[in-house]
Structure 1
Amino acid sequence: MRKTLSAAIIAALIGPHLIASAPAHAEELGSRFTLGVMPDTQFYSRYGTAAAGDIFGSRYGSNPFDEQAQFLVDSRDELNTEFVTHLGDVVDEADDRESWEIASAAMEKLDRAGVDYSILPGNHDYHVFDDGASAFATYFPASRAAAHETFGGRFQAPGVYEDDANQPVDSEYHIFDAEGQKYLVLALGWRAGDETLEWAQEIIDAHPNLPVILTAHEISNIDGEGKVFYSEDYGRHLFDSFIRRNDQIFLTISGHHHGAGYHLSTNDAGHQVINILQDYQMSYLGGNGLMGMLQFDLSGNTLDMTAFSPWVKGKEHSALTHFDSLLPAGPGDSYSVPINYAERFAGFDPEWKPGEEDDPDYTARLTSTLEQGYAPFEITPGERPTSPTDYPAVEGTAVHWRPGQATFNGRRLADGDAVPAGSIVPDVAGGQDFTRARLRIGTREDSITYSTDHHELSSDEGSLRWDKPTSKIAVSYFETAAGAPINSETFPNGYTIEAFVKLDENFNGDDNGWSNALIRNASGEDLGTDDGDPIQMLGISNLRELRWWALGNNKQGHSNWSHEVPKGEWMHVAVVNDPADASVTMYVDGAPILRDGYGPVGLAGEGFTWLLGTSAWEGHTVDGWYGNIGEIRMVDHPIGPDQWLTARSGEGAPTPAPEAGSSQVGSSLAAFGGGVLVGLLAALGAAAALAARLGGALEAALGPVIDHITGQIRALQR
C-alpha cells in the first residue's frame, strides 16, 4: 500500500517530468546496426553566417548542423552507428564561402572522430569559384573522403542540370562493415547522367555479392497527402535505367523534395526496393535539427526509421515552441518496413546471414536517451485568457478587428450561422469596422460562417470560417469603409500587425495556395510599379508557407516567409517593423522564422481599403481564403511578445489553480519553502529514482524515507 500511495503523492507534488523513469525491461537481443541520415542542411549553413546574423547562434547558442554531427560522434558506440549518409544541399547559396566553411566545420567533427560518411552535391551545391574550382570539390575534395577507410573512389562528370551543364558532378562510393557483412554505398551527385551511371554500374559489377544502398539528392517525391513516389523529373528515370536492373540495390535514400516517408517498388528480379525520402528544410527553422537513424534489424527482419532532433534536445526550455519536435510523430517520420534480409540478398549472396545476436534495440535506446530529462513545450493554464478583455491594451492601436463579436443587423452571430452580406466585424479600438461585401456571381451567403472556434491564447470569442471557394474568382470578403482612417495609415514609426489564422484541414496547395487572409486593396501598379499583387498582404503560399509582403512607405518592399505550417491548427502571426534598422520580422506562435529581412519602413498607400478573406491581382479580387480568421490588430509602432494578443492583461484576472501533476506545482511549492523546499524536492526525486530501481524492495528500503520527506513538504505547504 505504501508503494502505491507514495508514488501518487510524488507525482502530485513534483510533476511527471521530475521523476526518474524506471529502466525498461531488457530488450530481446538481436543482430542490429544503425546508419545515420543527414538530410538537406542548406538553411543551417546559410543562416549561420555572420552576414545572415548567425540566427542560430545568436538566438539559441548553437547551429543545428553542428549538433547533428556532434550527436553522431557522441552516440556512435551506444547506437552502433556504422556509417552516415549526407543527402546533399549541403549549403543553400553555393557562391557563399562562409556557408561552406560552416558546413565543412560541422562535417569535420565526423572526420576527427573517425565516423565514416558519404556526402554528395545537391542542386544548391553547384558553383565554380573564380579560380575555376567547383565549390563542392573545394570543400569536400576526394582527398578528404580518402581519409576514411570506407572510401572506394570518386567520379566526376559534367552536370546535366539546366544552366549548370558544364559544372562537374561529384559522385563517390564507400564500403562499410556491419555485423560481419559488407555493404556498398553509392552516393550519386545531382541528377547524375549516363556517364556517371556507367561508372556506378562498374562499381556494382566489381562487387557482385554486396548489398547496395543508393543515395542521391533526388530520387523520390511526395504529394500533399503524404504519398511518396519516384520523382518524375529524375527518380523515375533513375529507376528505369539503373535501379530496376540491379538486384543488389535494395535501398535508396534521398532528400530534395520537402517531406518524409517511403515507398516500395519492384525490380526486374521481382524483389522489393525500399525508397526513403527525408527532407525537413521546410520545417520550422529550416529543419529544426531533424535527422534520421536507420536501424537494420538483421535478425528481426525489419528496417526501422526514427526521425529525431538532437538540437531540440539541447535547447533551453524557455526557447521551445509547439513547433519543436524532439521525435516527430507523423506517419512518414518514424516507421518500420519488413524485409527478410536473407531472402532479399539470396540472389546475389546466398551465403549472407545475420551477425551475432548480441545487440539491443537501438531504436528504443535512441528514444529513451532523447526523452530522458526532456520537457516539451506546453501552454500552462495561467497563459490562457480568462475573459474576452484579458489581453494587453496597447497605446497606439490603430485598429483591432474581432470576428468573435461579429453581428448582422445588430444581432450577435451564433456558432454555425451564415454570415450575410452587410455583416459587421467590429473594430473595438475605434469603430473602423469590416463589412461583408455584397455577394458576387458564384458566391454563397454561407461561404462564410461564424464559429466559436479560436486560438487558445486569443481572448476573442470566435472566428469566421471561409468555406472552400467554388472558383478562383468566386470569393467572399469583408472591406473597410471608404473613408476609414486605417485606409490611409502609413505607419511612419513602424508597426506591429497580429492575426490569428487557421488553414482548413482540406487545404490543398495547388487549389488554395497564394490566398490571403488580409490585404490592402491596391496593387503595385496603383503606385507606379509593374507588380499586380496587393501592396500589403498576409497569406499562404502553395507550399503552406505563411507570407507577409509589404511595400514600405519608403518604397522598399520585402517578403517574409515562414516554414511549412500545419493544416487544421490555429496560429498566431505577428509581423514587427522596426524603423530603427528597417527590419521586418515575422513570428508564428511566438517562434521567430528564418526568412526575415530589411528595407521597408511603414506601409505605402493612402486611401486604399483593407480586405479580409481574399487576395487580389491587378485590383481584381481572386484566391479566397480557405479556413478560419480570428482577431487582427495593428499597432503604430513595434511591440514585443509581452504586449501581443497572446499575452494577458495582468489586471486582476484570476489565476487558475495548477493542474495536478503539472510542472507549475513544483514552482508554486518553491514559493512556500524557498531553498529548503528545493532541497526536499531534490531529495524526493532522488528517492523516487532509487525506488524505481529497487522495485519490490521499495517499502522496506525507501518507504519511510519518502514518507518523511513528503511530510516535510506538506508542512511547508501549510
Structure 2
Amino acid sequence: MSSSRRLFLLNAGLIPAAAALPVPAAASPSGGARPDTDSPRFTLAVIPDTQYLYDRDRGDAAPLEASLRYIVDSAREHNMVFVAHLGDMTENGLASEFSSISRTFRILDRFPYSVLAGNHDIDASKDDQRGPSPYLDNFGPARFRNSPSFRGATRDGYNSYHVFRAAGREWVVLALDWRPSAGSIAWARDVLRKHPRSPVILTTHEFVHADSGDGNAVLSDFGQRLWNDLVKDNDQIFLTLNGHFWPPGRTVLRNSAGNDVHAHITNYQDRYYGGSAMIRLYHFDLARGVIDVQTFSPWLLAQRKLNVLAQQEIERSGPLDYFSVEMDFAKRFSGFAPVPPVASRPAREMVIPGTVAYWRFDSRDLRDLSGNGNDLVASGTPTWSPEHHASQPGHGSVFLDGAYFKTVSGAPLNRATFQRGYTIEAFFKLPTDFNSSHAWGALLSRLGTGRDAGKTGDDPSEPVATLSLSDGHALQWATFPLNQNGISTNWGHELPLGKWWHVAVVNDGRCTTLYVDGARLLRNPSTPAVGISTANDVWLMGAYTYDRKIDKTFYGWIGDVRVVDRPLAERDFMVRS
C-alpha cells in the first residue's frame, strides 16, 4: 500500500491510524525481509537533515524512530535495498546528541545504510583530517562492521562507501564528508576504479542549492569543486543527493562523457517540527525506465489526531518533492557497463519441429530456410538494413515502403490450412512518421478472398488471413477460419513507434491468441477458430489485398518471420524475454 493510499484510508476513516503505519517496539535486524535483488523495481530511502530533532534538550527522537521503523517494516512492500542519511544528524555535534541519535539508529543497524557528517556534526572549519569527534565515536567504521553493504572507509573514518545489489547488478553509494580532503577525493576515485561497471550514487551534505526559490538547483562553490574534482569526469556517477540547503530543488548536469547527472537537494528542517523526520523514497523501475520520487513523514502518518500545521506536512506533493525522473538506464550506463549484444543464432536452430517456413533478412537470400521450398520473390525494391530487434536470431531486416514479397507459385505453404494449430511469428518496427496513410499494411497476409474460399459472412472481399497494423498502430489478426463463415479477429494495443517488436499469433487448434514480445494480449476471441482458409494462392509479406488487389503495403522494417504448424509455448518463441 503506498503512502498516498494509507493517507486516503486514514483520512476516510476506513482504517485506524495505528494500522496506517505499524510502529513496533523493536525491529528485526534484517527488517524481516530480504530484498529481491533481481527485480527491476527497488527503492532507496533518503533521510535529510535531522538536526533539530537532536538539539541538546530541545529535540524529540520520536519522529526519526518512526521513520526508521517504517523503512524496516515496509522493506518488503517497497523492495527497499538501501537507506542514506545526508548529514546534519545533530544540531551541535555534542556527545549527548550523538548518543541519542545513535540509540535511534539501532533500529536500522544491520540494515544496509550510510551516514555522513554535515557541518553541524563536526568542526565545520576543518576538512576530514579534523581528528576525533562524537560523530566518529558513534558512526565511524566500527559501527558498520556487521553491515551487509559497508565496503570501506577512508583512514580518517569520515568517508565511506557501500555496495548493494538490485536489478541484478551491484550499485555503489559514496558517502562523502562535509569537506573531503584531496586524499579522500583520490580515495573516492580509487573506489570507482575498483568497481568500474557499477552505477554510483554520490551522497554528501553540500553540493547544489536552490536559493532562487524556483526549484532550479545550481552548484554551490564547494559543489563546483567537487564536480570538477570527482563527478564531472567519472561517468559512473549518475545521481547526487544532498541536504544542507533549503528549499528543495533539482537540476540535470552534463558530464564530460556527455551524459546526464541528476543533482537533487532535499531538506525540510525549516518545516513544522524540524521537518517531522521526512523521508524521501526513490523508487527505481528499470523496466519502465523511471525513478519515481515521493516525500512524506511516517511519524505524522501514524498520528491519530493531527493539528493544523501537521496536517499540511504529512506528505509533500509539490513538483520538487513528488516527481519522476525518466532514464534509459541501459543507455545511461552503456559507457561503463555496456549491455553485450545478443549473438546472432544460426538458422538451423530456428528450424524447430513443425517449422513450415522461415525467412530472415541478414542477407539478400529470399529462400525459405526451413528447406520446405516456400521461397519469396520481391515486387518493387526493398531495402536491406542491419537494424534488428535486440533478441532477433538474424541480425538484419528489410525496410519496405511500397515494395513487398510473395511466396513462389506452387509453394507448399500456399495450400496449408493448419487444422491442428499454428504459430506465426514476426519481428517488425514502425517508423516514427508512421501515420494513418500507412494503416492496414500487412506484415503477412494470404492472397485470396473469403469469397474465394467459399465464405459469405462479414465482408467476403477481405483476404482469408492478414496480420496488419491499424491506424492506431495496433496489431490485428483477421482470418476466415475453416469452421466459421465470418471473420475471427484478434486485436492488439497501440504500440509506440520507432521501437522493435515481436508478434506471435498462436492457434491451438481451437482458439487463437496474440502475443507481443512474449506477453499475452487481451482482445483474443474465445469463439473456436480452427485453421486458416485458403484459395491455394500465394502468401504476401508486406502487402494487404482487398478483393484480390493490392490495397496497402507495409511501411517499416521486417525482421525474421517464422511459420510453424503447431502451437508454441511462449518459451519457444524466437524472441528472448
Name the residue aligned to 1:32.
41
Task: Measure the CA separation in 1 of the matches of 2:243 and 2:306.
Answer: 31
Instruction: Tell me, in whole angstroms, the C-alpha distance in 2 between the residues paired with 1:151 and 1:137.
Output: 15
Matches of 2:286 and 2:10 in 1, distance apart? 40
Q: Partner letter of residue 99 of structure 1?
A: E
The answer to whether the aligner puts 1:123 opposite 2:119 as a matched pair is yes
Distance 1:174 1:16 in 2: 39
- Matched with 2:149 is 150
SS in 1 for 2:162: strand
Output the CA distance in 2 between the equivalents of 1:230 and 1:321: 30
Output one character per residue of 1:338-376: Cα deviation in whole Å (capped at 9) or x when no partner: 1100000111111389xxxxxxxxxxxxxxxxxxxxxxx
Who is 2:200 aligned against?
212
SS of equivalent to 1:285: helix
Larger radius of gyration between Structure 1 and Structure 2: 2
Contact 1:184 1:213 (8 Å CA) reproduced: yes
SS for the counterpart of 2:228 is helix
- Distance, in Å, in 2 between the alignment partners of 1:222 and 1:231 is 9
Cα distance, 1:318 vs structure 2: 4.7
- Distance in 2 between the 1:351 and 1:135 partners? 45
- Residue 318 of structure 2 aligns to a residue in which SS? coil
In structure 1, what is the equivalent of residue 227 of structure 2? 239
Distance in 1 (alpha carbons) for counterparts of 2:49 and 2:115: 11
Q: Which amino acid aligns with 1:147?
A: N
Cα 1:352–1:151 change in 2 (3 A) is: farther
Other-structure match for 2:184: 196
1:120-519 alignment, distance < 5 Å: 120-127=116-123, 133-157=132-156, 170-321=158-309, 324-351=312-339
**Taking structure 1 as reference, are residues 352 and 80 closer, same or farther at Cα in structure 2, changes over 3 Å only?**
farther
Q: Distance in 1 between matches of 2:169 and 2:73?
A: 24
**Alpha-carbon separation, structure 2, partners of 1:291 and 1:110:** 14
Letter in 2 for 1:227: G
* Compared CA separation, residues 322 and 118, structure 1 to 2 (3 A): closer
Measure how far apart 1:229 and its partner are: 2.6
More moved, 313-322 vs 254-263: 313-322
Q: Is the 8 A contact 1:288 1:324 kept in 2?
A: no
Instruction: State the 1:310 CA deviation.
Output: 0.2
Cα-to-partner distance string for 1:407-429 (whole Å, 9 max, x where unaligned): xxxxxxxxxxxxxxxxxxxxxxx
Name segments (4+ residues, structure 1) moved above 6 Å. Answer: none
- Asked whether the equivalents of residues 230 and 236 of structure 1 are also in contact (C-alpha less than 8 Å), the reply is no
Alignment-derived partner of residue 365 in structure 2: none
Residue 147 (structure 1) shift: 1.3
Tell me if structure 2 keeps the 8 A contact 1:215–1:253. yes
TM-score (norm 2): 0.50
Partner of 1:712: none
Q: Any conservation in 1 of the 2:39–2:166 contact (CA below 8 Å)? A: no
Hey, what does 1:98 align to over in structure 2? 96
Report the 3-state secondary structure (helix = DSSP H, G, I; strand = E; otherwise coil) of the residue aligned with 1:186: strand
Q: Structure 2: where are the runs of 5+ without partners? A: 1-8, 17-37, 125-130, 342-577
Q: 1: distance between equivalents of 2:97 and 2:105?
A: 13
Post-superposition shift, 1:149? 2.1
Distance in 1, Cα, partners of 2:207 & 2:340: 28
The one-letter code matched in structure 2 to 1:218 is E
Whole-angstrom CA distance in 1 between matches of 2:218 and 2:154: 24
Q: Aligned pair in 2 of structure 1 residues 352, 225: CA closer, same or farther (>3 Å)?
A: farther
Higher helix fraction (1 or 2): 1
Tell me by how many angstroms 1:224 deviates.
3.6
> Partners of 2:169 and 2:306 in 1: how far apart?
46
Taking the aligned partners of 1:147 and 1:45, their CA distance within structure 2 comes to 25
Q: Does structure 2 retain, via aligned residues, the 8 Å contact 1:36–1:85?
A: yes
Q: 1:17 pairs with 12, 19, 27, which one?
A: 12
Q: Deviations over 1:209-254 (max 9, x none)?
A: 1101111000110124233333332111111221110000011011
- Counterpart CA distance in 2 for 1:203 and 1:236 is 21
Q: Distance in 2 between matches of 1:147 and 1:322?
A: 37
Q: CA deviation at 1:141?
A: 1.9
Equivalent residue of 2:84, what SS? Answer: strand
Number of residue pairs matched by the alignment = 307
The offset of 1:292, in angstroms, is 0.3
CA-CA distance at 1:16 after TM superposition: 7.5
CA distance in 1, matches of 2:328, 2:275: 33
User: RMSD between aligned alpha carbons?
Assistant: 2.6
Q: Is the 8 A contact 1:301 1:339 kept in 2?
A: yes
Contact 1:306 1:334 in 2 (8 A): yes
Contact 1:261 1:331 in 2 (8 A): no
Distance 2:328 2:100 in 1: 40
* d(CA) in 1 for partners of 2:206, 2:261: 16
Distance 1:77 1:259, change over 3 A: same
Read off the aligned partner of 1:86 and give its amino acid letter. Answer: H
Report the AA paired with residue 45 of structure 1: Y
Matches of 2:96 and 2:320, distance apart in 1: 33
Q: Which residue of 2 aligns with 1:465?
A: none
State the structure with bigger RCO (CA 8 A, min sep 6), 1 or 2: 1
Question: Which residue of structure 2 lines up, in the alignment, with residue 644 of structure 1?
Answer: none
SS across alignment from 1:295: strand
Other structure's SS at 2:248 match: strand
Q: Which runs of 5+ in 1 are unaligned?
A: 1-13, 22-28, 57-61, 158-168, 354-718
Q: Deviations over 1:21-74 (max 9, x none)?
A: 9xxxxxxx972100010101111111xx5x33x5x4xxxxx6211111111111
> 1:484-518: per-residue Cα shift (whole Å, max 9, x none)?
xxxxxxxxxxxxxxxxxxxxxxxxxxxxxxxxxxx
Contact 2:300–2:306, Cα closer than 8 Å, also in 1: no
Query: How many percent of aligned residue pairs carry the same amino acid?
Result: 33
Taking the aligned partners of 1:194 and 1:82, their CA distance within structure 2 comes to 31
2-side partners of 1:227 and 1:321: how far apart? Answer: 23
User: Are the equivalent residues in 1 in contact too, given 2:272–2:309 (CA < 8 A)?
Assistant: no
Distance 1:122 1:303 in 2: 26
Does structure 2 conserve the Cα–Cα contact (< 8 Å) formed by 1:30 and 1:299? no
The aligned residue for residue 43 of structure 1 is 52
